[in-house]
């Protein structure tokens, strides 16, 4: 029995999931390739710049990325949520209007984020204490934010079920990044060359899907874009601004922990410790790529099930994927508990041996978040965006405050333990509100 047939049997009996399995298979294959290429690129980086250099690279890009996450409100989830209904109604003009409006929001948000990052970077450096050369590189990286315009583009590919195109863009950019890193390592390039690699790659990851998505849209819809006015877009999509705010506030709260932790640590510990923490986190985040196909593909289906009143099917889908993802992540954690030292020394070098306990804890945290990640889309699809935001804000605040309180006393290991605590709180909170909205409500009725 093949893996695909096993998963199909696991999901059988309550809905037709052929389209979901096909799309998950496409994105899953792409994410596995991207994860492998990402780890290989990380190995090249660690061998080239060392632990301290990896820490410096993290500090150079951290502040611009924080500003980007805070300022740039992505309409991607809203495009899928409202676009699903528009597609069901076969309203081509309404779809173009929504996508045009969301794209303009992307472009304006990227420009505002870039300008704010450029003008406030010097204030942030009072905490980061970057050298003049490092500050200059951080300034240059801030310029890349002008190109961060892919949110709506990716959601269009998801909405139109062109996951194959999305997968190709992911793999292509990851392959280019790896090849470039190998070339720089081979020629013995200086540190700044690896900075340029990160900066150019950051732009490419956004510009490439933007181009691909708009080509897809122009070929798919014969209505001229210039003939469609944006007038009435908010009236035709009631509640979209609130949905964008809540969904972005949730993403911001969650993603802020991926950048603010580095920012806070930059003023508390040295570059080498940050490098060890960064490599542990990067490995753990690569495991999370396993769950991204589920989030990418299943969210539109969850929205469809809820809109059609098929609540039982929605609940079954959520919990079965929850168990499936947990069964995938748990063996990875066990592997690092037993053979983590040997793996790190063989792959990254003896310099990073001290990262093993950090990596094991981070992987456990990622497994918990991976298994419960489908609840993010589930809560959004059933109108629980406020509750999702509450859980995310609470767990993120505990994590970030904990870094300031415990890292100075217990060292970098405290940051990894706090990541685990944060993810447990998030998983429990999301499960509670999902059950309250679905199963408990159904029982009362």
Residue 52 host element (H or E): helix 18-71
330, 325, 444: which is closest to 375 by C-alpha? 325
Total structural domains within the chain: 1
Q: Which two tokens stand for residue 143?
A: 């310029």
Q: How many CB atoms lie within 10 A of CB 230?
A: 12
Measured distance CA(33)–CA(377) in Å, rounded: 24
Q: How far is CA 212 from the centre of its chain?
A: 20
123, 121, 78: which is closest to 103 by C-alpha? 78
- 26-77 tens-digit pLDDT: 767 777 888 888 888 988 998 898 888 888 999 999 999 989 887 877 777 7
b vs e for 347-357, b when ≥16 Cβ sit within 10 Å of the residue's Cβ? Answer: ebeebbebbbb
Q: Taking the complete model, does pTM exceed 0.85, yes or no?
A: no
Q: How many CA atoms lie within 13 A of 174 on its CB side?
A: 19
DSSP 205-249: HHHHHHHHHHHHHHHH--S-GGG---TTHHHHSTTHHHHHHHHHH
pLDDT of res. 216 = 81
How far, in Å, are 25, 174, 181, 194, 197 from residue 190 at the CA level? 39, 22, 12, 7, 11
pLDDT of res. 239 = 78
Q: 3-class SS at 126? A: helix
Measured distance CA(59)–CA(134) in Å, rounded: 9
Q: How far is CA 47 from the centre of its chain?
A: 26
pLDDT of res. 22 = 64
Q: Is 209 exposed, middle or buried (0-12, 13-18, 19+ CB in 10 A)?
A: buried
Contact 327, 382 (CB under 8 A): no
How far, in Å, are 16, 274, 318 from residue 60 at the CA level? 47, 12, 39
Measured distance CA(342)–CA(339) in Å, rounded: 6
Residue whose tokens read 């508390």: 268
pLDDT one digit per residue (tens) for the chain, 445 residues: 454 555 455 444 434 445 555 666 676 777 788 888 888 898 899 889 888 888 899 999 999 998 988 787 777 778 887 887 777 777 777 778 888 888 888 899 899 999 999 999 999 999 988 999 999 999 999 999 999 988 888 888 877 777 778 888 888 999 999 999 999 999 999 999 999 999 999 999 889 988 888 888 777 776 666 667 777 777 777 778 777 777 677 667 666 677 788 999 988 988 889 988 988 888 888 877 766 666 666 766 777 777 777 777 778 888 888 888 888 888 888 888 888 888 888 888 887 888 889 999 999 999 999 888 888 878 877 878 788 889 988 998 999 999 999 999 999 999 999 999 999 999 999 999 988 877 755 544 4
289, 314, 319: which is closest to 301 by C-alpha? 314
Q: How many CB atoms lie within 10 A of CB 264?
A: 18
**DSSP symbol at 15:** S
pLDDT of res. 29 = 76
The domain in which residue 262 lies consists of 3-444
Q: In the chain, what are the helix, strand and coil shares in percent, each to the nearest 5?
A: 85, 0, 15
pLDDT of res. 383 = 78
pLDDT of res. 409 = 92
């Amino acid at each position: 029995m093949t893996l695909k047939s096993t998963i199909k049997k696991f999901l059988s009996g309550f809905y037709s999931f052929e389209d979901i399995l096909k799309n998950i298979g496409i994105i899953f294959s792409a994410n596995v390739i991207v994860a492998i290429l990402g780890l290989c690129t990380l190995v090249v980086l660690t061998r080239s710049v060392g632990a301290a250099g990896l820490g410096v690279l993290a500090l150079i890009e951290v502040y611009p990325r924080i500003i980007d996450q805070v300022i740039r409100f992505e309409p991607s989830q809203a495009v899928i949520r409202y676009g699903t209904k528009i597609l069901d109604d076969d309203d081509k003009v309404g779809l173009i209007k929504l996508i045009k409006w969301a794209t303009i929001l992307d472009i304006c948000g990227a420009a505002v984020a870039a300008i704010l990052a450029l003008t406030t970077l010097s204030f942030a450096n009072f905490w980061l204490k970057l050298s003049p050369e490092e500050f200059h590189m951080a300034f240059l990286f801030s310029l890349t934010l002008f190109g961060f315009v892919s949110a709506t583009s990716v959601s269009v590919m998801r909405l139109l079920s062109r996951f194959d195109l999305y997968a190709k863009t992911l793999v292509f950019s990851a392959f280019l990044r790896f090849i470039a890193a190998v070339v720089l390592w081979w020629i013995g390039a200086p540190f700044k060359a690896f900075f340029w690699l990160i900066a150019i790659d950051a732009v490419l990851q956004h510009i490439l899907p933007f181009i691909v998505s708009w080509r897809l849209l122009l070929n798919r819809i014969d209505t001229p874009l210039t003939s469609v006015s944006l007038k009435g877009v908010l009236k035709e999509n009631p509640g979209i601004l609130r949905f964008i705010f809540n969904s972005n506030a949730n993403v911001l709260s969650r993603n802020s922990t991926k950048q603010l932790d580095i920012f806070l640590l930059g003023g508390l510990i040295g570059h080498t410790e940050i490098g060890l923490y960064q490599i542990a986190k990067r490995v753990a985040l690569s495991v999370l790529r396993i769950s991204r196909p589920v989030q990418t593909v299943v969210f539109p289906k969850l929205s469809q099930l809820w809109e059609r009143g098929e609540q039982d099917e929605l609940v079954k889908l959520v919990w079965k994927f929850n168990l499936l993802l947990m069964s995938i992540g748990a063996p990875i954690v066990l592997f690092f508990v037993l053979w983590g030292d040997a793996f790190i020394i063989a792959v990254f070098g003896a310099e990073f041996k001290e990262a093993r306990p950090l990596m094991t804890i981070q992987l456990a945290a990622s497994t918990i978040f991976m298994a419960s990640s489908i609840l993010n889309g589930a809560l959004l699809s059933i109108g629980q965006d406020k509750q999702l935001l509450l859980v995310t804000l609470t767990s993120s605040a505990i994590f970030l405050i904990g870094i300031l309180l415990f890292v100075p006393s217990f060292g970098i290991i405290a940051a990894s333990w706090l990541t685990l605590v944060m993810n447990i709180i998030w998983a429990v909170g999301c499960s509670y509100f999902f059950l309250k909205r679905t199963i408990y409500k159904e029982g009362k009725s």
